[in-house]
Structure 1
């Protein structure tokens, strides 16, 4: 009888942990993030073409965890985490007087994406987590 109780407790613990596991997702890049319209700091993912770099301010990374709201899907929550991380990256670049961040990659743990059409996120029942990393630069601008 004690063995059954012990096995029942172990099974309950395993099921509880399985329900809380984080799933690594590769999701489509939100269309709003693929445009540079109206942004003072442009974002270029992976190997996207951009103007020549005139000054580099180094590589910067921001990791973000966004708690999940009950009425939001894990995918939408990942989009919120990405938007927050990219805003942090833009704010940092702006403070450095940069006008772009190039070679942006997203990652969760050891899973990385350098794509301009997809990003990597860790999603669980509790929230979404990811990191963005890119080179903060000043790009050559056209004379107006």
Structure 2
């Protein structure tokens, strides 16, 4: 009887665990993040400019291909917004390095690409924050602009 009770309680707890999992979708302003002191501290140095899809860009001189970056960060002890900003900076830093490696001075047509689903906005990026992890994925094109 004790064994059945223990097994029953274990099954009940296992089915209750997903109720505690969170997946909050946030849309946050990219320019505000790029202008923040956190961006400079994270190594976003201004040598590469970032343009969301639908945002007006200077004339494109050449393109150097597309790339996807998918970053995750620990969300424990942070607000959803704080962890989303942190992980977005990590993703942007990866795109900045990719641009430098290719001789590009801009990353254009940036779309959020969470689980391969595109979210397009000329002002905001998408982040998914959970109880433990937060994630941002970007798909973008490297370019040289005037």
TM-score per shorter chain, which class?
A: 0.7 to 0.9
Given the two structures, how large is their TM-score scaled by the length of structure 1?
0.82
Which of 128, 134, 137 pairs up with 2:140? Answer: 134
Tell me if 1:114 matches 2:115. Answer: no
| Pairing 1:1-144 to 2, within 5 Å after superposition | 5-19=6-20, 21-30=21-30, 31-33=32-34, 39-70=46-77, 72-139=78-145, 141=146
For the aligned residue pairs, the C-alpha RMSD in angstroms reads: 2.2
Higher helix share: 2
* Residue correspondences, number: 136
Structure 2 stretches lacking a partner, 5+ long: 37-44
Unaligned runs of 5+ in 1: none
Task: Tell me if structure 1 keeps the 8 A contact 2:71–2:90.
Answer: yes
CA distance in 1 between partners of 2:22 and 2:8 (Å): 25
- How far, CA to CA, are the matches of 1:62 and 1:8 in structure 2? 42
